[in-house]
């Protein structure tokens, strides 16, 4: 990713958590994300890496459930906010500044690779997915939350499914229409793609 992208996300860090699904400040929204993600993760303590973790809300949520969590984000300001969030929650999360498209992580070291609203922003999503899959242990799971938003940005579910099937044998799509996840009703396309080994 370019320095322009890093500067852009640095500029978003201060207000990033104002979106209900970013900050998970509303207990109902937080519960909805826990109900969605926790059943997809192996029993604790599973090793999880949250790529493009932003301010660390999902990473902290998973750490509070007993998982061993790492987070990677391009933005130094996002990483600082994430570290503070983990400190306040009193959970250990290893946050690192790095490119989510090519994470500074060891191969075959995670039970779960999680990315939310990241793939669409990458210049080579297929190449990123190939690198992400290499981070997984043999029975690891890929968990992606993506969308095609009303602004026209994003990726359609079928495109992400095709990309995942280019690097894995399985890709299951689930549309995320529950308003509790977003803090409001949504009309654009938001979805989950899960690939188990």
Q: Which CATH number belongs to the domain containing residue 115 in this structure?
A: 3.40.50.150
Say yes or no to pLDDT of 52 above 60. Answer: yes
**DSSP structure class, residue 132:** H
Domain that residue 175 falls in: 3-196
Contact 143, 113 (CB under 8 A): yes
Determine how β-strand 172-175 pairs with β-strand 189-196.
antiparallel
Confidence of residue 41 (pLDDT cuts 50, 70, 90): very high
The percentage of the chain sitting over the pLDDT mark of 90, rounded to a whole number, equals: 95
Split into its structural domains, the chain has a count of 1
CA atoms within 13 A on the CB side of 76: 2
Question: For residue 158, which of 60, 166, 59 has the smallest C-alpha distance?
Answer: 166
- Which pTM does this prediction carry? 0.96
Do 164 and 142 touch, CB atoms closer than 8 A? Answer: yes
Per residue in 97-110, pLDDT (tens digit) is 999 999 999 999 99
Helix (H) or strand (E) holding 144: strand 136-148
pLDDT band for position 176 (cuts 50, 70, 90):
very high
What DSSP element (H or E) covers 93?
strand 93-97
Check if the beta carbon of residue 24 is closer than 8 Å to that of residue 33. Answer: yes
Q: In the structure, what pLDDT confidence band is assigned to residue 23 with cuts at 50, 70 and 90? A: very high
Contact predicate 89/58, CB 8 Å:
no
């Amino acid at each position: 990713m370019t320095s322009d992208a890093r500067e852009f996300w640095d500029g978003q860090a201060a207000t990033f958590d104002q979106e209900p699904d970013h900050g998970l400040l509303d207990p109902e929204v937080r519960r909805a994300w826990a109900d969605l993600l926790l059943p997809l993760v192996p029993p604790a303590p599973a090793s999880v890496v949250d790529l493009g973790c932003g301010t660390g809300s999902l990473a902290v949520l998973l750490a509070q459930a007993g998982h061993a969590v790492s987070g990677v984000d391009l933005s130094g300001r996002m990483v600082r906010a994430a570290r503070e969030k983990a400190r306040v929650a009193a959970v250990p999360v290893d946050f690192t500044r790095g490119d989510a498209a090519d994470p500074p992580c060891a191969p075959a070291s995670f039970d779960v690779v999680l990315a939310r609203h990241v793939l669409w922003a990458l210049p080579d999503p297929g190449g990123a997915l190939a690198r992400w899959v290499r981070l997984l242990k043999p029975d690891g799971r890929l968990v992606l939350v993506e969308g095609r938003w009303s602004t026209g940005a994003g990726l359609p579910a079928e495109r992400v499914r095709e990309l995942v099937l280019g690097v894995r044998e399985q890709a299951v799509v689930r549309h995320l229409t529950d308003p509790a996840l977003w803090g409001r009703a949504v009309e654009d396309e938001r979805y989950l793609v899960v690939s188990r080994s």
